[in-house]
A and B are shown apart, each in its own frame.
Chain A
Amino acid sequence: RYYEYMFGHSWRRMRGRRPLAARVEPELFQLQVVIEAGDPGCDRHPHLGSSEAYHLIVTEPVAILKASEVWGALRGLETFSQLVHEDDYGSFLVNESEINDFPRFAHRGILLDTSRHYLPLKSILTNLDAMAFNKFNVLHWHIVDDQSFPYQSIYFPELSDKGAYSSNLIYTPTDVRLVIEYARLRGIRVIPEFDTPGHTQSWGKGQKDLLTPCYSGGQPTGSFGPVNPVWNTTYDFMAKFFKEISSVFPDEFIHLGGDEVDFSCWKSNPEVKEFMKKQGFGTDYAKLESYYVQNILDIVSSYNKGQMVWQEVFDHKAQLKPDTVVQVWMANNYAHELSSVTGAGFTAVLSAPWYLDYISYGQDWKKYYSVEPLNFPGSEKQKKLLIGGEACLWGEFVDGTNLTPRLWPRASAVGERLWSSSNVTNLQDAYRRLTNHRCRML
């Protein structure tokens, strides 16, 4: 596909090569790609520890792209494609160069929300292409939420039957496999998020007795709150559900959500109140939330999956596994949160300054570019625990009609911040390269 990216658009391509005698310039005949590791990883999925480093030597007649694993070769291929340019006569040129490159942060992600609005497969795949152009390597698929449940579950088909916006606005197992494979071929991990116990209204449509019934004046009101943490059936369901998720999604990590849990429904429910008393939680519902979360973490652990959670899970003092990744999203004083999370020994991923759904007039890419993720008080050891970040495009005002122009090329600013060295900060230079890059992406 890189051949197509570099030469495909050119009308010159049809013309064929110039005759031998006419050649005066040194010519580049071949780009040799060498993957050095014994096991290049071509048949496997990328993971957090994958090597994305590459060494590119462009010289005539043969250029060499060397990488330890295939993931580095993909990054190097993207760079090589950016070095090739066309002159006014339609000839393709590349400067003699030598590049030694590797990412600053290992987790460089984009969050897409397919619950607030369904995103057609085409949108998602186009987005994966754009991610590859920007060396992003994680698709954080926030696949279900309050508004809709488009994920077609094998064990629980009712979830999408009743919870999706409509029967054709779903992701079938084939669709999901397609996304995962399309991503894999671009060195992109797919981390699904099944956010609980809050953000689950749509789950209740297809799964009776999962959500907490809310009460008013001693009577159920007919509306529901977060997942009910006191029933055993909840955990039976979750165990079966996450068993499926663990086998459908090959990445080592699953995102379990855990954000913005509204306690008011729990507080109104007599069974929940009774449970609080029995457990000795008093009136501290954060403890109930943690109790629930810990159970889910255990379930998911038992399937040999690592867990990512939103920061509230950490803030409310749930007992996390040592390798749980905490995603920091609250904009207010996020540097302080990064200190706390890493200070407690947990790995962190930063999203707070990169909520790209918050559009505004003008060149807002500059403010995303200017973020320095390691600008928080902490030791060297702590800073190492910040493994990267994610640009989030929440879906309240986004669907297939506007996803691509809204996300790109603003997300490119985040992509560079996460890959490049901390001293690559010059805005004028970035502007010049970003405008070229945008045209190239188009």
Chain B
Amino acid sequence: AENEPSWETPCSKLLVYVSTPGCDGFPSLDSKESYKLSVSKGSMLLSAETIWGALRGLETFSQLVGRDENGTYYINETQIVDFPRFPHRGLLLDTSRHYLPLRAILETLDVMAYNKFNVFHWHIVDDPSFPYESSTFPELSKQGAFNAMTHVYTASDVSTVIEYARLRGIRVIAEFDTPGHTLSWGPGAPGLLTPCYIGKTRSGVYGPINPIVNSTYQFVTSLFQEVSTVFPDYFLHLGGDEVDFTCWKSNPEIRAFMVDVGFGEDYKKLESFYIQRLLDIVSSLGKGYIVWQEVFDNNVKLRPDTIIHVWKESNLQYIKEMANVTRAGYRALLSAPWYLNRISYGQDWIEAYKVEPLSFEGVPEQKALVMGGEACMWGEYVDVTNLTPRLW
């Protein structure tokens, strides 16, 4: 050739080969995300077993493309064989402390894809607000959202999130945290929460979900029936953290119940009583569940495939907790050292990066039970005006 270009012949196509596509399906915990990327003279090939691996490979490919001073795009000859160390790589967003408009969630999903995250843990409701529009119980968001017109997620919004995530190989795991963290459920579901007492009279304040009335379990069944259909992932996050026993202790009916069933003064047993029934309900709906570590710490009877979410940080207790959880045979997710809402001055990414999830005392079988982890962005001080620069 007369004008031999200094670069090799331009590549015009990246061939993507997927052996078992499943493009219409949803990603799952077992999805294979491995891929092979081969870039050489005149041929670029991305091959993966599944479409989810192809997505990860596409992201890598996009990171390999550079641009020189003349504006020419180039890529180095490369051979990559890649697969994730952990199958559950998640991000938690909290849309209860502050409502996050749809665009903020979708933008987050985009950036998650750039970073090969594959689980969006949607902490959708909590004490401050209930933005989830339930078809079974429309009053929940009508009474519980910050603004029932402007600060809710309609069925259409939710399916938009799920599909947008799916197209990026991201699972959406919804968390309906009970029995604590449920104040916003009260206005739309009278009789659900425990009325607190001062002496013999009601104080007007409410506490966690009332575990001793049948109506609670009817409500929970109906709600989770809906949630199980709306959210296609096999797993639901059921919460179970930070249950404050003070209100239960103040309620005479509950005190009477405690005596009746022989729980004495051990309210952890009452919490377990509720959670066990909740887990049974959710199981019967064909879903698996993830719970916060208290559920494990308080000796609730769990199904063997329960995933325990380790979040308590102080004094590095999480390292011991990871050992305890896995030693008991349960799968674990790590979030404790990755509470990104706890901002501090300087390059705090370094501390997060240095965490070694498997640095706890245990045998290889235990370590194999660590599914991965989640970075959490709790919403007390976060809304759409500062979410993106705070998280990324």
Contacts and interface: CB of A to CB of B under 8 A. Distances in A.
Is A bound to B?
A: yes
A406 to B, nearest CB: 8
Interface in B315-355: 341-347
B389 A359 contact: no
Nearest to A400: B389
Interface of A is mostly: loop
B314 interface: no
Given A405-B386, A405-B389, A358 B342 contact: no
A361 B346 contact: no
A146 interface: no
A397 interface: yes
Interface residues of B, number: 13
A357 B343 CA distance: 12
Contacts of B381: 361-363
Interface residue range, chain A: 10 to 19
B385 A360 contact: no
B389 A357 contact: no
Contact of A361 (B341, B385, B388, B389): B341
B342 A357 contact: no
A22 interface: no
A359 B342 contact: no
A358 B389 contact: no
A357 B342 CA distance: 15
A359 B385 contact: no
B344 A361 contact: yes
Nearest to A442: B385
A401 interface: yes
A362 B385 CA distance: 16
Interface of B is mostly: loop
A360 B346 contact: no
Q: Which of B341, B344, B346, B389 has the most CB of A within 10 A?
A: B389
Nearest to B347: A397
Contact of A360 (B341, B345, B389): B345
B343 A361 contact: yes
Contacts of B344: 359-361
B345 A401 contact: no
Contacts, number: 31
B343 A397 contact: no
A325 B72 CA distance: 53
B343 A359 contact: yes
Nearest to A404: B385
A167 to B, nearest CB: 12
A91 interface: no
A332 interface: no
B343 A360 contact: yes
B17 to A, nearest CB: 37
B357 to A, nearest CB: 23
Interface in B337-392: 341-347, 381, 385-386, 388-390
Contacts of B346: 397
Interface string A362-382: 110000000000000000000
A359 B345 contact: yes
Contacts of A442: 385
Contacts of A401: 388-389
A402 interface: yes
A361 B385 CA distance: 17
A358 B347 CA distance: 12
B314 to A, nearest CB: 14
Interface in A333-368: 357-363
Interface string B93-118: 00000000000000000000000000
Nearest to B381: A362
Interface string A98-140: 0000000000000000000000000000000000000000000
Nearest to A355: B345
A429 to B, nearest CB: 20
A405 B342 CA distance: 16
Q: Which of A358, A397, A402, A405 has the most CB of B within 10 A?
A: A405
Contacts of A406: 386, 389
Contacts of A362: 381
A267 to B, nearest CB: 30
B379 to A, nearest CB: 13
Contacts of A361: 341-344, 381
Interface string A418-442: 0000000000000000000000001
29 contacts: A357-B345, A358-B345, A359-B343, A359-B345, A360-B343, A360-B344, A360-B345, A361-B341, A361-B342, A361-B343, A361-B344, A361-B381, A362-B381, A363-B381, A397-B345, A397-B346, A397-B347, A401-B388, A401-B389, A402-B386, A402-B390, A404-B385, A405-B385, A405-B386, A405-B389, A405-B390, A406-B386, A406-B389, A442-B385
**9 smallest A-B Cβ distances: which pairs?**
A402-B389, A405-B386, A361-B342, A358-B345, A401-B389, A405-B385, A359-B345, A361-B343, A359-B343
Interface of B: 341-347, 381, 385-386, 388-390
Given A360-B345, A361-B344, A401-B389, 8 more contacts: A357-B345, A360-B344, A361-B343, A361-B381, A362-B381, A397-B345, A405-B385, A406-B389
